[in-house]
Amino acid sequence: MAIRKAVITAAGQNQRSLPLQSLVDCDGVRKSALRIVIEEVVHAGVEEICLVIHPGDDAKLAEAADPHAGRIRFVEQREPLGYGHAVFCSRDFAGEEPFLLLVSDHLYVSRQPKNCARQLIDAAEAESCSVSAVQATRESKLPYFGAVGGRLDQGRQHIFLIENVIEKPTPTEAEQHLIVPGLRAGHYLCFFGMHVLSPKIMEILESEIRRGTSRIQLSPALAELAGKERYLALEVQGQRYDLDAKYGLLIAQLALALAGNEREEVLAQLVELLAQRVT
C-alpha cells in the first residue's frame, strides 16, 4: 500500500482566504500557508496533489502555491455541500488508490525528524489500512473537532483501533462513547486534520450523496468506514495549528518560529515584549 496522492481541501468559506496568508516557515523563508501545507505533503514523499477549490479560485491559489503549482490538479466544488462532499469531488483524481487528505487551514509542527504527514503515511503503509492522525485534546476543545473512540491496537503505543467517530461531540457524548483507555482524564482523541483513506471512503460518500443528504460531512462516513474495514488512529508526534481559531495565525507563526533555526532570537524578542508588558 503505497501513498502517492494527496488531496487538500480549500473550498470552504474561510479556507478561501486563510491559505493565502503569509507566515515565516521553520526554515526562515516567508511563504503562504498553502505553500507550507503543500511542502508538508511533498516532503512526505507524495507525488501528485489535488486541491479542491471554490470555483474561480485557481489563479490566486496557484500563485500562493508557487513554486509547486505545476504539480497541482485543481478540482472545483461547485456547491457548498459540506466537507465530505469536497472530498468526494476528488474521486476521479484519487481513483482506486489510497490517498492522504489534509485541510488547507491547518499547519503542523513535528516533534521528531519525520514530519507529521510522513509519520501518518508510514503507519498507513505498514498497516495497509486507513489511518487518521489524532491528538489527545482537552474536553473544552471538543466543539472544534471530530473525535474518535477505541482502544490501543494490540497493546502498541500511539496506534488505536477506531470503534466510534463523532463530529464535534458534546462532553456527555464523549464521556459515553469516546473514552479511550490510557488517556488522561478529561482528554479525548480528536482529529488532527490529516488522514490516509482507502478508496472505500469514496463509495460511502457516494452512497450519502445518492440518498439525497443535503450536507455531506466526513465524520459520519468515517464512522461507517470503521464498521466496514480495519481503521486505525495514530497519535502523531507533533502539534496541529488551526489558522481559523482565535489568534490562530499568531499561534501558528510562533510555533513555526520556535521550531526553526532562529528560535533563540525569537525567544529573546518575546522576553523583551513580556518585560515591556510587565513594566
We report the CATH number of the domain holding residue 247 as: 3.90.550.10
Output the nine-digit C-alpha cell for 120.
501518518
Which domain covers residue 163, as residue numbers?
Answer: 5-278
| pLDDT value, residue 154 | 76
| pLDDT value, residue 274 | 87
DSSP state of 184: P
Predicted confidence pLDDT, tens digits, the chain (279 residues): 799 999 999 998 878 899 999 999 999 999 999 999 999 999 999 999 999 999 999 999 999 999 999 999 999 999 999 999 999 999 999 999 999 999 999 999 999 999 999 999 999 999 999 999 999 999 999 998 999 999 988 767 899 999 999 999 999 999 999 989 888 888 999 999 999 999 999 999 999 999 988 899 999 999 999 999 999 999 999 999 999 999 999 999 999 999 998 999 999 998 998 888 665
Q: What is the pTM of this model?
A: 0.93
| pLDDT value, residue 278 | 64
Given phi > 0 = left and psi -120 to 50 = alpha, else beta, which region is 171?
alpha
Condensed to tens digits (0 to 9), the pLDDT of residues 7-56 reads 999 998 878 899 999 999 999 999 999 999 999 999 999 999 999 999 99
Dist CA 20 CA 64 (whole Å): 6
Neighbour count for residue 225 (Cβ, 10 Å): 24
Asked if residue 68 lies in contact with residue 42, where contact means CB atoms within 8 angstroms, the answer is yes
E-strand ranges in 40-172 read 48-53, 72-76, 99-103, 106-110, 130-138, 146-152, 159-167
Domains held by the chain: number:
1
Burial pattern 34-48, b for ≥16 Cβ within 10 A else e, equals bbbbbbbbbebbbeb
Asked if residue 109 lies in contact with residue 259, where contact means CB atoms within 8 angstroms, the answer is yes
Q: Which residues pair with 10 in a beta bridge?
A: 53
Which residues are within 8 A (CB) of 140 and not within 5 positions of it... i.e. 6 or more apart?
none
